[in-house]
Amino acid sequence: MGGSFAIGYLTYLMQGALWTAGLSLIALGFGGILALTVALCRISDMRWLRTITALYIQIVQGTPVLVLIFLSYFGLPSLGWSVSPLFAASASLAIYVSAYLGESWRGSIQSVPKAQWETAECLALSKTQRMTKVILPQAVRIATPPTVGFMVQIIKNTSLASVVGFVELVRAGQIINNTIFQPFLIYLLIALLYFSLCFPLSILSRRLESRAGDKAYA
């Protein structure tokens, strides 16, 4: 027998949406730090470092996020490390983000015109100074549109955290549906909430790409 949908259930869904947004930001924050490290390693002068990083990217990109979450939540305790659902989801999504954004940012860094690299070298700047003062500021402008667009994928992948009991948007919906048994209404609301989170990012990404294109042809 189904129950009626109360306003408290909508509030609970909104709380789940906030946790979805929060988990996405955590994944982007920690994953972004790892991604920058991956990107810099990919363009390193040391061949062995480039090889190891490329292998890391291939392994992570070839592994479903759900498997990464299972490895974190069920695998680490078998090694004696107890982890919470939040940690397992955050760590897994950060690793996922690091591989995809790392490769994307590597492309952005290498797309900076060669003349900029040569000019920075002619100014007698150290390698670190060339990267931080000349190359990376330009690469950030190039990388911003695809990074914003990738946030949509991060938000949608947070739904996989529900399998380990983390109460984000999907898990909140499952809990409510187990109480009132109105799956169509519940999952329609979930879809609308995901849309409200993802659509603005999609629009922002397109506008940023359009502005970048206009500047390129200016």
Q: Pick the residue with more confidence: 65 or 6?
A: 65
Reported confidence tier of residue 67, pLDDT bands at 50, 70, 90: very high
pLDDT value, residue 3: 59
Full DSSP string of 87-129: HHHHHHHHHHHHHHHHHHHHHHHHTS-HHHHHHHHHTT--HHH
103 pLDDT band, cuts 50/70/90, is very high
13-22, 44-53, 91-100, 175-184: the lowest-pLDDT one = 175-184
- Token reading at 175: 């809990």
When mean pLDDT is compared over 64-73, 114-123, 141-150, the highest value belongs to: 64-73
Separation CA 7–CA 187 (nearest Å): 16
**How many residues would you count in the chain?**
218
- What confidence score (pLDDT) does residue 209 get? 72
Q: How far apart are CA 66 and CA 192, in angstroms?
A: 23
Burial 115-133 (b: 16+ CB within 10 A, else e): eebeebeeeeeeeeebbee
CA–CA distance, 105 with 98 (Å, rounded to integer) = 10
Instruction: Express each pLDDT in 128-167 by its tens digit.
Output: 888 888 888 888 888 888 898 899 999 999 999 999 989 9
Two tokens, residue 133: 């003062």
pLDDT at 217: 40
Instruction: Provide the pLDDT for residue 112.
Output: 85
- Judge whether 68 and 75 are in contact, CB under 8 Å: no
In the predicted model, is pLDDT for residue 218 greater than 50?
A: no
Question: Hey, what are 4's tokens?
Answer: 């009626």
Mind listing the pLDDT tens digit for each residue in 159-216?
A: 999 999 899 999 999 999 888 888 899 999 999 999 999 999 888 888 877 775 555 4
DSSP letters for 141-161: HHHHHHHHHHHHHHHHHGGGG
For the record, the structure tokens of 65 come out as 């996020």
The arithmetic mean of pLDDT across residues 36-62, rounded, is 94
Longest dimension (CA), the chain: 76
pLDDT surpassing 80 at residue 126: no
